[in-house]
């Protein structure tokens, strides 16, 4: 085993699948010791066993990011094992897909608890140690954190909130050289869409999108690792997302109409096909 004191340490929440799992593999490749945090410890054990073949130091901490005590324990266990934290990647997330008028408000609470409050709790407890290392705090956001998406009110709200939180944190700690990265992967071939909640809080099941046209989790992880290394502040990973980000500054009504028509084409769209008089310019 390597001497963990000689290596940087990265904590990854939601590390049991998808982008989180891919990030764990990528960060080990980059030379980090890695802390895997999620509720599914059986799956974390499988990932850790595979990663340990690369002589990486791996720590597993069962963590429900909606529980502040769990988040505090995650940081405590990391410090006990490695004595430092260099990178915190707030990746744990949950999505939803339903019109607000058809939505149980508990779904909004659940999405905010994971996507926003989970990032707040972990960041709060990790911050002193990351400041010591002039390290990085990463939030895995979405283009829906830049421009609202129909049928994803709760998801968009949670990502807007997280981005505002992280941007404020960056400015608060400018003198301490804190690196804050907001990464927006776009639609990625992971199970977050399969597990997205419907209006009643149940997993929607089969994804409505064609995964062959999406980025893979490994591609996303490589890009995020590059952005951490180069201390980038924002990362938008798709041309579509980049276009939305810039066009909304100058043609917001056009972007709204385009997004509506695009999302309405999804199979089983919660708001159906747009009618000629449904969307008007402003």
The closest alpha carbon to 143, from 89, 93, 185, belongs to 185
Q: Out of 121, 125, 129, 155, pick the active-site residue.
A: 155
Distance (Å, rounded) from C-alpha 103 to C-alpha 152? 10
Return the ∠ at Cα 60 (arms to 145 and 96), rounded to 5°. 30
Strand partners, 182: 139, 234
Distance (Å, rounded) from C-alpha 144 to C-alpha 182? 12
Distance (Å, rounded) from C-alpha 97 to C-alpha 152? 5
DSSP conformational letter for 17: S
The question of whether 121 is a catalytic residue gets the answer no
- Cβ atoms of residues 19 and 237 within 8 Å: no
Distance (Å, rounded) from C-alpha 96 to C-alpha 107? 8
Strands, sheet with 234-236, edge to edge from the N-terminal-most edge strand = 58-62, 33-38, 9-13, 87-90, 136-140, 179-184, 234-236
Residues classed as catalytic: 155
């Amino acid at each position: 085993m390597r001497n963990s004191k000689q290596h940087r340490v990265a904590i990854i929440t939601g590390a049991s699948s998808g982008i989180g799992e891919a990030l764990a593999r990528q960060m080990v490749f980059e030379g980090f010791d890695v802390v895997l945090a999620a509720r599914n410890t059986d799956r974390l054990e499988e990932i850790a066993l595979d990663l340990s073949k690369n002589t990486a130091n791996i720590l597993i901490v069962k963590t429900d990011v909606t529980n502040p005590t769990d988040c505090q324990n995650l940081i405590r266990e990391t410090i006990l094992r490695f004595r430092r934290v260099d990178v915190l990647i707030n990746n744990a997330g949950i999505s939803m897909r339903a019109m607000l008028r058809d939505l149980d408000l508990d779904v909004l609470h659940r999405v905010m608890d994971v996507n926003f409050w989970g990032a707040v709790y972990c960041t709060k407890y990790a911050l002193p140690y990351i400041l010591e290392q002039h390290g990085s705090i990463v939030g895995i956001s979405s283009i829906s954190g830049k421009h609202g998406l129909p049928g994803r009110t709760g998801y968009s709200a949670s990502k807007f909130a997280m981005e505002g939180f992280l941007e404020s944190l960056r400015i608060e700690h400018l003198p301490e050289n804190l690196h804050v990265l907001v990464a927006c992967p776009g639609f990625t071939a992971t199970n977050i869409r399969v597990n997205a909640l419907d209006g009643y809080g149940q997993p929607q099941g089969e994804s409505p999108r064609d995964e062959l046209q999406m980025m893979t989790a490994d591609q996303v992880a490589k890009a995020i690792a590059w952005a951490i290394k180069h201390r980038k502040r924002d990362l938008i990973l798709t041309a579509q997302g980049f276009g939305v980000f810039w066009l909304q500054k100058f043609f917001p009504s056009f972007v709204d109409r385009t997004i509506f028509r695009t999302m309405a084409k999804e199979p089983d769209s919660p708001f159906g096909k747009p009618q000629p008089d449904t969307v008007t310019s402003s």
